[in-house]
Amino acid sequence: MADKPSIPKGTRDFTPLEMARRMHIFDTIRTIFKIHGFLPIETPAMENLSSLMGKYGEEGDKLLFKILNSGDFKGKLTDRELTDTPAGRLGSMISEKGLRYDLTVPFARFVVQHRNEIIFPFKRYQIQPVWRADRPQRGRYREFYQCDVDVIGSNSLLNELELIQIIDEVFAALGLKVVIKLNNRKVLAGIVKMIGEPERMTDITVAIDKLEKIGMEKVKAELEQKGLKPEAIEKLEPVLKMMGTTEEKLDFLEKFLKGSETGLNGLAEVRKLFVYMEADLPGAAVEFDLTLARGLNYYTGSIFEVKSAEMEIGSICGGGRYDDLTGIFGLEGVSGVGISFGADRIYDVLLQLERFPERSELDTTLLFVNFGEQEVQHIIPILGRLRESGITSEIYPDQVKMKKQMNYANSRKIPYVALVGEQEVKDGVVTLKEMESGNQEQLTPAQLVEKLSPAK
């Protein structure tokens, strides 16, 4: 036999078991998006390279999968160009298309391209694979699904509330306990302004993030080492020491940020969101977390991040508000807010915590054993009745040894097997065997349908 075939590294096949689990996640998410009135879109796997290049930084450009032009891709190039152009640039000369790298840029492109058909505010979701030429490693793939939900064309904080509700509902439906962290870029901007270091937001946030781990003195040393002015560090210290409830933190910051309009605006947004949540999500674990600095280069307001409260793993969902998503394609001034669910990490959490449902929607309920042509003729209409009643049923297609057929039922975890032999055909009944207990009973087709009908 030839070598066992394989697939490109960093890509995956999904077997029926994995598909059942993935569909459990995606169906749960989709159902909740739907109930909130979000609408699906899909964009093509291939985008014009010109739509993708320069959108993800220099490093991102290198991670784009380029699609070689069809036909004579080198026809227009001189020998000199072929041999002397560096691979990076030559790649763009022989490829006009690339695989999408995320769902955000295609969404921005979609909004601009279809702006006359879209009804704003546009509440859209999109669940599709993306591709990155990253070095594959455990938990990092070259093809993986993203699951994005955004509202574009509205400044209202009700959109933020809705996304938090969605997060809360999705993880509750999946049976996972999570902590939702909330921050606001404007608050961070206010803080760095008030301490006189408006350009150092990233350094400062990184330092704050380490507070719990390395302690106040080391954080201060690090900030000093990074060139922060001593008086700035001194001013920052009370912020770092800020303790207490969300309410107390917000009160503290209210005083601290006096003098920064942006900071106070951000704080008002955070406050309002907590008021909204009191009305609707008194039980949700939402924390105001100043150290949350996700996507600081494009988020302009609220920032979200979700972590499992039950195991150590990176963020399983996150997002924020961006004031100029579509600007890259020439449409200015459209504000949006969105989050993205990390399906692969959620999968890992559910698997490790054993929270996948034991039986899947996809499982077969009943297998008819195949004893031969006469019996099959009798079974065919019964099978039809069962399926019409929503009972997933099969007949073993080949007339082989009983043992092989029972093995099939066992391997497929089919809970009921129906035996229809000569006598059953004569009596117009079916012998139903429950696999776990081994119990058998004789039923008419109508009784069989009644017994196995899914609970409504």
**DSSP assignments along 368-419, one per residue:** E----HHHHHHHHHHHHHHHHTT--EEE-SS---HHHHHHHHHHTT-SEEEE
| Closer by beta carbon to a copy of itself, 218 or else 412 | 412
| Closer by beta carbon to a copy of itself, 211 or else 328 | 328
CA separation for the pair 30, 456 (Å, rounded): 21
CA separation for the pair 447, 441 (Å, rounded): 11
* Largest interatomic CA distance in the chain: 96
| Closer by beta carbon to a copy of itself, 99 or else 147 | 99
Residues with Cβ within 8 Å of 237's Cβ and at least 6 positions away in sequence, in order, are: 216, 220
| Shortest reach from residue 84's CB to a copy of itself, in Å | 9
| Closer by beta carbon to a copy of itself, 109 or else 307 | 109
| Shortest reach from residue 83's CB to a copy of itself, in Å | 4
b/e for 105-116, b at 16 or more Cβ within 10 A? bbbbbbbbeeee
| Shortest reach from residue 61's CB to a copy of itself, in Å | 11
Q: Could you give the C-alpha distances from 30 to 33, 127, 362, in angstroms and in order?
A: 5, 9, 17
C-alpha 9, offset from chain centre:
22
| Closer by beta carbon to a copy of itself, 198 or else 384 | 384
| Closer by beta carbon to a copy of itself, 377 or else 444 | 377
| Shortest reach from residue 256's CB to a copy of itself, in Å | 26
Q: 24: number of CA atoms within 13 Å, CB side? A: 24
| Shortest reach from residue 184's CB to a copy of itself, in Å | 18
| Shortest reach from residue 78's CB to a copy of itself, in Å | 9
CA separation for the pair 93, 70 (Å, rounded): 13
CA separation for the pair 165, 24 (Å, rounded): 20
User: How many CB atoms within 10 Å of residue 348?
Assistant: 17
Contact call for residues 184 and 289 (beta carbons, < 8 A)? no
Six token digits for residue 219: 């954080």
| Shortest reach from residue 206's CB to a copy of itself, in Å | 30
Relative to beta strand 95-99, strand 46-48 is: antiparallel
Sole residue written with tokens 């739907």 = 34
| Closer by beta carbon to a copy of itself, 92 or else 262 | 92
| Shortest reach from residue 224's CB to a copy of itself, in Å | 40
| Shortest reach from residue 212's CB to a copy of itself, in Å | 34
User: How many CB atoms within 10 Å of residue 136?
Assistant: 14
| Closer by beta carbon to a copy of itself, 90 or else 429 | 90
| Closer by beta carbon to a copy of itself, 203 or else 394 | 394
| Closer by beta carbon to a copy of itself, 229 or else 272 | 272
How many degrees, rounded to 5, is the angle at CA 72 between CA 70 and CA 74?
110
Q: For residue 306, list its beta bridge partners.
A: 180, 317
| Shortest reach from residue 199's CB to a copy of itself, in Å | 29
Instruction: List the one residue out of 68, 322, 314 whose CA is nearest residue 181.
Output: 314
Contact call for residues 395 and 345 (beta carbons, < 8 A)? no
| Shortest reach from residue 269's CB to a copy of itself, in Å | 14
| Closer by beta carbon to a copy of itself, 17 or else 309 | 17
Six token digits for residue 127: 């669940």
